[in-house]
């Protein structure tokens, strides 16, 4: 495992019940990211690295839902059980929550999209991000691309993410590499 250091933050994207097997929009092996990310959370804890966790948090009749003309089944409804983080994810008490998907006019796949997250990270002196979570080819992709565009050194924890489709996942990795992200294999 490459080491995290001062000026780094761990950013976990949407590790929520609805994206895991049994949830409303389940990803194959979505829950398998949990033990991997828990190991990173342990290291972050040892080194005093701040943890940010985004969550998809939709109002009823959100425009991203198929019933409203969007792409996805109803998922991550605000305050629903499915919107909760996976119960085995060991988020520290001081985790900074980043709530997205609350807008009525457009979806927010990226944790940076109109959340103010970049401002907060810059305020905290963060210049490098370690990113994992769900889903590789949707919200993790959008978050990694934004992080690169915003000038953060960006490392994807490959074992700590899963795609909606394998093809989508491969395409996402190519896009991320082109944008300058480092893909961490293993660990």
**Catalytic residue positions, numbered:** 14, 100, 139
Query: Residue 113 or 159: which CB sits closer to Zn ion?
Result: 113
C-alpha–C-alpha distance, residues 72 and 64, integer Å: 6
- Whether 49 and 9 have beta carbons less than 8 Å apart is answered as yes
Shortest gap between Cβ of 167 and Zn ion (angstroms)?
20
Let me know if 36 is exposed, middle or buried by CB neighbors in 10 A (0-12, 13-18, 19+). Answer: middle
Of 56, 113, 137, 159, the one binding Zn ion by CB under 5 A: 56
Letters for 99-118 (x = contact with Zn ion by CB under 5 A, - = none) are --x-----------------
Strand partners, 128: 8, 153
Segment contacting Zn ion (CB under 5 A): 33-41, 48-56, 90-98, 124-132?
48-56
71's tokens: 């792409």
Q: Of the two residues 71 and 93, which places its CB atom closer to Zn ion in the complex?
A: 71
Does 169 participate in binding Zn ion (rule CB under 5 A)?
Answer: no
Closest approach, Cβ 65 to Zn ion, in A, equals 8
Q: How does DSSP assign 89-116, residue by residue?
A: ----TTPEEEEES--SSS---STTTTT-
């Amino acid at each position: 495992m490459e080491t995290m250091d001062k000026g780094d933050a761990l950013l976990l994207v949407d590790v929520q019940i609805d994206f895991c097997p049994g949830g409303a929009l389940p990803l194959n092996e979505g829950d398998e990211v949990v033990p991997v990310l828990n190991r990173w959370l342990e290291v972050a804890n040892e080194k005093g690295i701040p943890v940010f966790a985004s969550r998809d948090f939709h109002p009823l009749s959100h425009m991203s839902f198929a019933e409203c003309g969007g792409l996805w089944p109803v998922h991550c409804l605000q305050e629903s059980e499915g919107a909760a983080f996976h119960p085995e994810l060991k988020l520290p008490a001081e985790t900074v929550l980043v709530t997205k998907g609350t807008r009525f006019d457009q979806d927010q796949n990226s944790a940076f999209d109109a959340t103010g997250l970049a401002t907060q990270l810059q305020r905290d002196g963060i210049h490098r991000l370690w990113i994992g979570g769900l889903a590789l080819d949707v919200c993790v992709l959008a978050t990694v691309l934004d992080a690169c565009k915003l000038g953060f050194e960006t490392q994807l924890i490959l074992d700590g993410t899963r795609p909606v489709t394998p093809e989508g996942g491969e395409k996402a990795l190519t896009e991320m590499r082109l944008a300058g992200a480092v893909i961490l294999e293993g660990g």
